[in-house]
Amino acid sequence: MKHQDLLRETYIEINLDRIEHNIRAIREMCGPSTNIGAVVKADAYGHGAVALAPVLMENGADLLCVATLSEGIELKQHFPNYPVLLMGLTRNEYFDDVLHYHLIQTIDTFEQAAALSQSAVKHKQTAHIHIKIDTGFHRLGFLVNEESIDQIEAISHLPNIVIDGIFTHLVLLDNKTNEEQFQLFLSVKETLDNRNIHIPCWHIADSIAGVDYPQYRMDGIRAGAILYGLKGFHKGELELRQAISFKSRINHITHIRAGEGVSYDFTWRAEKDTQIATLPFGYADGYPRNMHGKGWVTLHGKRVPIVGVICMDQCMVDLYEVPEACVGDEVIIYGDGSANTMSIQEAALLAETNKNDIVSRLTRRPPRVYTRKGEMVKVSHFFL
């Protein structure tokens, strides 16, 4: 496999050895009795869900979790025997697709469950579901009250419906709020248990809670950012390795004189004679446009500033500190923080957002290069 297979100079590199290390570390942390839902929504946070799924399933993940029906179908087309949970809601008219691909559907109203049951009966299939509970996040889910309990009980008696799990999401404001939500969730469990409705998998913990609050792991955790080596936790210990890097190459160099401007509106002008390198990536590749004036890349081990407004497909850097640079030289846009590279955490701080936003906004335009032991093992092109 050669770099010519990339078809462009800008690409995203995924270290599969690091993904494997991370999922194994999560499995060791949780122990054998806790289910791990590997969250691969948003194309596995920009890493490529289809390419990562086998690594995750072979090294400790019990199911894959996505947000949308289309994400679930993509995975099922490649891995029909892997269990896939749709954590978002699906409109009733698409329930035939949910059943056709044997997806596990999240439900948060009796009406949805009844519609799915009707479709399942029609197709002579069993629909597997997880029920969402709203313990305070106020995004999705049954509110915690007697009416909701009655509806969940009614769902449990619907034909061709099996409740595999029930879950909620922590706000993660502070310990007090977390515990209030947890106790509210437990109250739902106790009430359903008293009605002889026993749901096998209860889960409340995401990546952060899964590490910081072992008492909230229950029957399973939903591991998202930690799969990819992105740390959002603060209290617990888990040795992770960032798996993603974003790279490009110089494709043009121009000499400019002091006072000359670069890019739209000349928001940056050279203070002295210098060289400007054009790099073939921009905000259409998922690089934050608001990095204008503060972003940088690593070239020959040095931090080189991005200058001028970032374009859709290109951006420019000032080579004053690296005059020896040539067309074709590699630049590292995001690295793991070593060798003077910008980590995902640093990028998030500069772009005034969080790590998940930085990686999940990476579009499918740059090819993904997957490596093992430093060697390219797969190149994935979305458009080919």
Cα 50 from Cα 56, distance rounded (Å)? 10
Rounded average pLDDT over 40-49: 97
Q: Is the pLDDT of residue 277 over 80?
A: yes
- The predicted model gives 306-330 an average pLDDT of 97
Q: What angle do CA 307, 310, 311 make, to 5 degrees?
A: 135
Other beta carbons within 10 angstroms of residue 195's beta carbon come to: 13
CA 45 distance to own-chain centroid: 3
CB atoms within 10 A of CB 274: 19
126: DSSP letter: -
Q: Is residue 33 very low, low, confident or very high in pLDDT (cuts 50, 70, 90)?
A: very high
**In sequence order, what E strands does 270-354 have?**
274-279, 296-299, 302-307, 315-318, 330-334
Percent of the chain, pLDDT > 70? Answer: 99
Q: What is the mean pLDDT of residues 26-45?
A: 97
Specify the pLDDT at position 1.
Answer: 46
**Averaged pLDDT, 53-70:** 97
* Residue 149 neighbours by CB under 8 Å, 6+ apart: 188, 191, 192, 195
Q: What is the pLDDT of residues 70-106, one digit of tens each?
A: 999 999 999 999 999 999 999 999 999 999 999 999 9
The region that residue 102 occupies, defined by phi over 0 for left and psi between -120 and 50 for alpha, beta otherwise, is left
Q: What is the pLDDT of residue 4?
A: 63
The three-state secondary structure class of 384 is coil
The pLDDT assigned to 383 comes to 82
Catalytic residue set: 41, 264
* Residues 279-304: tens digit of each pLDDT: 999 999 999 999 999 999 999 999 99
Residue 51 predicted with pLDDT over 60: yes
pLDDT tens per residue across span 115-132: 999 999 999 999 999 999
Q: What token pair was written down for 15? A: 């270290």
Give the pair of three-digit tokens for residue 357.
């936003």
Cα-based angle 270, 274, 277 (whole degrees, multiple of 5):
100
* Range with lowest mean pLDDT among 239-253, 271-285, 370-384: 370-384
Closest CA to 130 of 138, 140, 118: 140
Residue 142 pLDDT exceeds 90: yes
Interstrand relation of 296-299 and 330-334 (parallel, antiparallel or unpaired) = antiparallel
Is the four-CA dihedral 35, 38, 39, 41 of positive or negative sign? negative
